[in-house]
Amino acid sequence: MLTTLKTTYTDTRAADLAWCLGKDPLPALAVLDLQLDGADVQLRLLGASHQVILEEEDGVCSETVACIPGSQTPLPLGVAKRVGAWEYEFAARVETLSRCSFAGRAQELLALVAEHPQGLAGTFPGDPHAFTALLAQRRDGQISWRTWHAYPQEGRLVATRTRVGVRMAAPL
C-alpha cells in the first residue's frame, strides 16, 4: 500500500534517527494491520519514521525507529537480545547514493512495497523520493520486517532489517 503522508517532513537527516524497543504506540499517519499465521503485526508510519508492533501469545514486541525527542539511543548498526520469549535481531545500514542513483533506488523500493500485500509505504509532501517504507513477512516460524527511510536532500537511504523468533530450548 502506498500513501501520501499528510505532514511535513519531520526527520530530515539520517543521523536524527534513533532506535527504541518497548515504546507504546505513537500517533501514526498510516497503519497496516496484518495477520501472519497467528501473529498480529501492525506496521505504522509516523511523522518521524516508523513503528512496528508484534503481538502473539508469547507477548508484545514494539520497535520504533524515528526521531524520538530526548532519546539517548542513536540508530545502532546491530542489536541481538531477548525480548520476553523471543530472540530479537536488528541491523541497520546507511547508503549514500548519487542523485541519479538515489532516484532510481527510491522508485524501485516504492514499487516493491506498494504492490506487496504486506507492505506499507508513505511519501512525504514536497519530494517524491522522501519516503518511509515497511515490508513484513513470516517464514520458518519467524516474523521479520525490512524498512527504508529516504533522505533525498542528503542522498542517504537508511535500511533496517529485523527478525523476531521464538527462543529454542537448548538440546539436552
Question: If you average pLDDT over residues 145-149, what whole number do you get?
Answer: 96
Residue 171 lies in a domain: no
Query: Per-residue confidence at 127, pLDDT binned at 50, 70, 90?
Result: confident
Who has greater pLDDT, 172 or 12? 12
pLDDT of residue 6: 81
Q: Residue 120: which of 12, 33, 7 has the closest Cα? A: 33
Query: Per-residue confidence at 47, pLDDT binned at 50, 70, 90?
Result: confident
> pLDDT over 70 for what percent of the chain?
90
- Split into its structural domains, the chain has a count of 1
Residue 9 lies in a domain: yes
Task: Write the DSSP assignment of 44-94 as a string of letters.
Answer: EEETTEEEEEEEETTEEEEEEEE--TT---B--SEEEEEETTEEEEEEEEE
Residue 172 lies in a domain: no
Question: If you average pLDDT over residues 132-147, what whole number do you get?
Answer: 94
Residue 53 lies in a domain: yes
Question: If you average pLDDT over residues 71-86, what whole number do you get?
Answer: 85
Residue 161 lies in a domain: yes
Residue bearing cell 501473529: 39
Residue 128 lies in a domain: yes
Q: Is the confidence at residue 104, as pLDDT, over 60? A: yes
Structure-block grid coordinates of residue 122? 508513505
Q: Phi first, then psi: what are they for 131, rounded to 5°?
A: -155, 165
Residue 96 belongs to what domain range? 2-166
Q: Is the confidence at residue 90, as pLDDT, over 90? A: yes
Task: Determine if the pTM surpasses 0.75.
Answer: yes
Question: If you average pLDDT over residues 87-99, what whole number do you get?
Answer: 95
Q: Phi first, then psi: what are they for 145, rounded to 5°?
A: -150, 155
Structure-block grid coordinates of residue 47? 511523522
Determine the Cα–Cα distance for residues 53 and 40; give it in Å rounded to an integer: 8
